[in-house]
Structure 1
Amino acid sequence: MQVKHGHPRRPTVGCFLLSVIGYFAVSTPLLYCRTFSYPVINNARIPPVSAKPYLTLANGETTLLLNAGQGTTGTRTIMEATCRVGIPSFHYLFSCGPYQSFWTKSDEYLGQYNLVLNEKRVLHEKLMEHWLFYRECAYPRKPSWWQQLVGKPIIDCTTNRLEEVLKENKMTLIELLKQPGSFALHDSPYPYFLDYMLQLAKGGDATNNLQPRSITLMLSERENTIWSSRRIGEHQEVPVCKEQFNEIITGSSSSVEGDFYYAGAFDLIACVEQARKQDPPPRLVSNILISYRGLQDICDSRKSHASQCHQRLGEINASAMKDYQDRVRQLYKPAYTINLWDQRFTTAEIAMDIYNKLSKLQNMVNRVEMVMRGGPDDGKLLPLISTLESKSEELAP
């Protein structure tokens, strides 16, 4: 049978209008129907409008739950757990905030709660925007033909721009620490600013009207060798401090200043400060930072020695992770530590464990149910754990 091949029909204005009408006629009612299926808030005390529109602890105190764990240690799971405790949380491109069912759309208190939370979300998203700058500039991709034609890079990856971004990051972190209420921060970029944030929270900053801030430090851990392999393989665009991997880049072993190495490959501010000592000073971000993809490309270029280079890369990365985790444990003594890789736990079990071990959370006021924001799970309800039950058995350390 002969098949005739003709020109494909181009979409018309009528088709476009039909698709728009179909969206509003079908999709929108389905979204509203979904709100009917959500359960009414359980175990949540909805305070009067006069109450503070955010989560507080006893006597109006607040705390910031800061997870110092590097990515690929279960930070996303732990973020869902803090959400289920009733704590607004942020993790990379995701967050959770107060859930408003169809029946509470006009609730003024929940509206105020979300309004205050949006201020935190704006600051978090600004930090994430700059985190993507570090990722893109650490090992820039080869420009496309049209970029070469224009002759000007889309992103300014000079060290001058790096200094500007780093200064903006510091101010944004100060504003984030000023935010009222209790909330939680997980994953990058926060571990890369850990020392800076803890020092600010402890002493405050009179110049920028920042009062000392209570921080409850958490640490999600993982065995460093396994972590290194997974991190390099699955998150190739993550930036690390270039000096830590000088052996991979130059092909010869060299000692790095002891204190700086101890700070690890994951301290962005220390990395930039160390780079300022170079003579001549670096011109590009890629002279200071490098991504795992860049390090892998260097190893691939070693040809007959590529496998040894990749093995050594994994060892150096694992060593940096071990130093980082040891440093956090010894210097800052986290209030809560968990390793999710020895055995499996549900988010409800982790949430209850956090609630049981962090006694200050047992006096939370204005605790409401959270819903996931961002990503494929947007709109996912995160049911509150019941705090009325007796304490369950704590997870094994």
Structure 2
Amino acid sequence: MPRTRTTRVLAVGQGTTGTHTIFNALCALGVPSVHYRQECNTGSPCRYTKDRSLAGAVKHVPHVCGAEGLELYESKNVVRMRAMYDAAKEFVANKRDCTRARHQHLCNVTGNEWAAAARATVSALARDQLSLTDSPYAQMPSLLLSLPELVNTSLYVNSLRTNATEWATSRVREHNSSIMCRQEVFPNGDRLDLHACAEACGPNVFGDCLVRYDDMPLEALAGAYERSASRLRSSLQKLPWQRRVLTVDMFTTRIDTKKVSDLIQQAHSRSQCAGTACINGRGSSLSVASHNVLMTCAGADDEAVGCAALWPPTPPDLARSGGFQGGQSLLTSGNQLEHPPRAIVVTIFKKTRLATLVQFLEYYRLIGASRVVLVDNNCGYETGRVNRILAPYIHGGFVKLMTEYRCLKPGERTAEGDVFAETTVMRWAASKSARAGDLVLFLSDDEFLVLKDPAWSLPMLARQMHAERVCAVHVPWKQFGSGGHRCQPNGSLLRNFQSRGPLLHELTPTDADAMLEDAHNAKINPPFKGKPLFLWQLSKTCATHLCSDGCDFADFTVCGYPNGTFDNRSVGTKSSDQATKLTRSAVCPPLLRNQMVGTFINHYAYQSAAAWEEKKERGRVSDLVDRRGPVPFEYNALVDGAGFSKTSERISLLSPAKPSLQSCLRRLLADGVTTSRELLATGQTDRLGPTLPAFHQVAEGGRGEKRHEIKTDAGGEERHKIKKAAPCP
């Protein structure tokens, strides 16, 4: 990893949280780094030298090479900061007797003097381009997060331990002379933050405002650590997009230096961009634990029991064997709508969790689909269970199961000679049920179309498209991440996964290009694509992601994304690439646009860390290269519960005469089983608690910390805000 203006790493977690492992990882990457009395990659020789930087005092600093080729650092700024920290510790240890102190000239400094000197010294260190991973820097998060020369160019590594008592026990055992603020000096602040403590101490002697760790009751020290960690996470969440945050927990899941190096390098690669415009989700974090999915997770689905028996009967023309036949039309000779259009959803599934498949079916029936055509690409995977679970949907006519492509890989041929190619197969499957003029959706089984208005439905959307002469409309993705889940939680995807990545308009062009490049390198879905919804046989050659060739009739048009324009990034390429633009796309007509602004496809492509590993292992249903890497940390950047809240509202709008159906749908789509032990230790273990309503998500410890939230205004535009969440019940 080259040394550049953006390679500086600042460990803002307290000591005894894995800071030395972070230091070793940086050393292995060739980054100039300091860990208290050790340094690496600075070119310092192993020798004795003199340093006259401390107010004229002559100090002999021994430089010896450590066991790993590490050396003591001789920078005057590092020596000065360490001396200030040691002097404060000596003052407390010597019970205010400065005659016994090594740094007598620093013994009686006031809090104001110590805070000002710390600020000046750390500012100087910013110019040295050094990575700082230990005390006293880790004990001054408020300073490290407030200096523009650091904030604009640093990667913050938040090393943490989720068990505060274990941390306190270990810290007292190994570093009993460490210091913190007295309760009476800083009763409502972060007592482990020395810079904030010095400012609170003011004109008083700084040492009088401090207490040693081993003079504190263990439970009080643990409580101080919990509050400090919570405040730090809250502060990191307030950093704007340019900042980088990497959350590391090396104790919940044991990891080694190599894995930490990989994570830092991954985060660093995202900070190599023009100016200060680097990507990072507001409050986003990447947990090391997500890389180590070799954990024990329950392999079975939760119960995959749907609501098929509770729905009204399917119309006879769909319920009969074979459904609609290709070639039928809903249109008159003048291309006017003669019969109500229906919505046909087509998907190919392979080793999909059956509970997820049932949710997919029930969700699309809830929003008005008349049929879901399922193309089975499994090869012996729970065939009996698949048939049993789908039987009531098939019998009722809502599902048509196509088995011709079982056990085929992309490019292979069926017995009839047909090639297995994703778009070709989907068009073939749609032709078995859709009439000309029906609304068709080519979707994956983890894509949930969330209409802006919960009272709207797919048939209403189809009628509006006909009325305004639109043959296809493009709907953008929202890419959802792991939500902090290590193992796959039972219950609703909409409920359990409410952390997503940024949309295209929420990023600068440079940031968007960087995310696209990361996605390309990992062979995962481009982050800013979407899917078209199109009228069957009225649009020319719609593929799974684009309808770029216009409509079959001159008075129809293709409607672009809601803002009416296409960017190359919208089709999955960087702005510098020469991608085919959708020149035939038009601005949506006004009534349709009113509904489509605020309509998205929630794409739950990643889900839990374990589910993502399973998905990578099972392979694709297309001929694309297999996916790589962990769940992208940008996709946990923003909290967005719109899909869950709108689905809950839609269920409540069902006829009160069908309480059993409402109850069944709530169980599948509006309830979630989420426990803290299933979540990654990213400091967000309570924010998806099942008892909390949407947009009422609580930060750690139930202390009502601020959270990032998405709201939709009257015009359908999304707005970002920080709200004050209520305490945990």
The two structures have a TM-score, normalised by structure 1, of 0.54
Write the distance in 1 (CA, Å) between the matches of 2:207 and 2:43.
42
Match of 1:190 in 2: 137
Measured in 2, the distance between the counterparts of 1:166 and 1:274 equals: 10
Given that 1:68 and 1:191 are in contact with CA atoms closer than 8 Å, whether structure 2 keeps it comes out as: yes
Aligned match of 2:209: 288
Equivalent residue for 1:171, pick from 101, 112, 120 = 120
Pairing 1:325–2:229 present: yes
Judged with a 3 Å threshold, the aligned counterparts in structure 2 of structure 1 residues 153 and 232 are, in CA distance, closer, same or farther, namely: closer
* CA distance in 2 between partners of 1:93 and 1:337 (Å): 24
Aligned amino acid, residue 131 of structure 2 = A
| Alpha-carbon offset, residue 99 of structure 1 | 7.2
Q: Distance in 2 between matches of 1:362 and 1:130?
A: 34
Equivalent-residue separation in structure 1 for 2:73 and 2:36 (angstroms): 16
Q: How far 1:361 moved relative to its partner?
A: 6.0
1:123 partnered with 2:77 = yes
Within the candidate set 197, 211, 227, 1:271 is matched to: 197
| Map 1:230-245 → 2, pairs under 5 A | 230-243=170-183
1:349 and 2:268 correspond: no
Quickly say closer, same or farther: Cα 1:96–1:361, change in 2 above 3 A: farther
Q: Secondary structure at the match of 2:146?
A: helix
- The AA in structure 2 aligned to 1:70 is Q
Q: Contact 1:355–1:361 (CA<8 Å) still a contact in 2?
A: no
What do the CA deviations read for 1:103-138 (whole angstroms, capped 9, x no partner)? xxxxxxxxxxxxxx9998331122111111111012
Query: Kindly tell me: are residues 84 and 136 of structure 1, through their superposed partners in 2, closer, same or farther at Cα, counting changes over 3 Å?
Result: same
Aligned-pair CA distance for 1:55: 1.1
Could you say if the C-alpha distance between residues 357 and 213 of structure 1 is closer, same or farther in structure 2, counting changes exceeding 3 Å?
closer
Change (3 A) 1:196 1:142: closer
Aligned CA distance change for structure 1 residues 142 and 218 (closer, same or farther; 3 Å)? closer
2:104 aligns to what SS in structure 1?
Answer: coil
Shift of 1:355: 1.5
* Alignment partner of 1:217 is 2:217: no
The two structures, once aligned, show a CA RMSD in angstroms of 3.7
Instruction: Assess, with a 3 A threshold, how the Cα gap between structure 1 residues 240 and 174 changes in structure 2: closer, same or farther.
Output: same
Change (3 A) 1:241 1:352: same
1:316 aligns with 2:263: no
Amino acid aligned to 1:226? E
2:704 corresponds to: none
Aligned residue identity for 1:242: R
Structure 1 or 2: larger strand share?
A: 2
Q: C-alpha displacement at 1:227, in angstroms?
A: 0.1
Cα shift at 1:73:
0.6
> Is the contact between residue 336 and residue 358 of structure 1 (CA under 8 Å) also seen in structure 2?
no
In 2, Cα distance between the equivalents of 1:175 and 1:289?
26
Partner deviation per Cα, 1:12-69 (whole Å, 9 max, x = no partner): xxxxxxxxxxxxxxxxxxxxxxxxxxxxxxxx9xxxxxxxxx812xxxx434211101
C-alpha distance 131-330 of structure 1, shift in aligned 2 (>3 A): same
- Structure 1 residues 160 and 351, CA gap change in structure 2 (3 angstroms): closer
| Aligned pairs for 1:1-397 within 5 A | 55-56=3-4, 61-97=5-41, 121-140=75-94, 155=104, 159-160=108-109, 163-179=112-128, 181=129, 183-201=130-148, 213-222=152-161, 223-243=163-183, 257-258=187-188, 260=189, 264-276=190-202, 282=204, 284-293=205-214, 295=215, 313-333=217-237, 335-360=245-270, 393-394=629-630
The answer for unaligned runs of 5 or more in structure 1 is 1-43, 45-53, 101-116, 205-210, 247-255, 297-312, 364-389
Question: Separation in 2 of the partners of 1:236 and 1:291?
Answer: 7
Q: Judging changes above 3 Å, is the alpha-carbon distance between structure 1 residues 157 and 140 closer, same or farther for their aligned structure 2 residues?
A: farther
Deviation at 1:163, TM superposition (A): 4.5
Secondary structure of residue in 2 paired with 1:331: helix
Structure 1 residues 160 and 219 mapped into 2: Cα distance closer, same or farther (>3 Å)?
A: closer
- 1:74-115 CA-partner distances (Å, limit 9, x unpaired): 111111011212211111111111679xxxxxxxxxxxxxxx
Query: Are the structure 2 counterparts of residues 143 and 169 from structure 1 closer, same or farther at C-alpha, using a change threshold of 3 Å?
Result: closer
Q: Which protein is bigger by CA-based radius of gyration?
A: 2
2:80 maps to amino acid: K
Partner of 1:308: none
1:257 CA drift (Å): 4.3
Superposed CA offset, 1:183-216 (max 9, x none): 4111111123221232122xx5xxxxxx974121
Q: Distance in 2 between the 1:218 and 1:120 partners?
A: 24
In structure 2, relative to structure 1, the CA distance for the partners of 1:153 and 1:67 (3 Å cut) is: closer
- Deviation readout 1:324-379 (Å, 9 max, x if unpaired): 1112222213610111112322211221122224433679xxxxxxxxxxxxxxxx
CA distance in 1, matches of 2:151, 2:166: 37
Q: Assess if the C-alpha contact under 8 Å between 1:191 and 1:266 holds in 2.
A: no
Distance 1:212 1:342 in 2: 28
For residues 193 and 124 of structure 1, what CA distance do their matches in structure 2 show? Answer: 14
Distance in 2 separating the partners of 1:354 and 1:78: 9
Tell whether the 8 Å contact from 1:157 to 1:285 is kept in structure 2 after alignment.
Answer: no
Q: Encode CA deviations 1:281-313: one digit per residue, 9 max, x unaligned.
A: 74x4442111124x16xxxxxxxxxxxxxxxx1
SS at match of 1:220: strand
Cα 1:229–1:362 shift into 2, 3 Å: same
How far off is 1:323 after superposition?
Answer: 1.3
Residue pair 1:335, 1:358 contacting (<8 A) in 2 also:
no
The percentage of aligned residue pairs carrying the same residue is: 24
Q: Is the 8 A contact 1:62 1:214 kept in 2?
A: yes
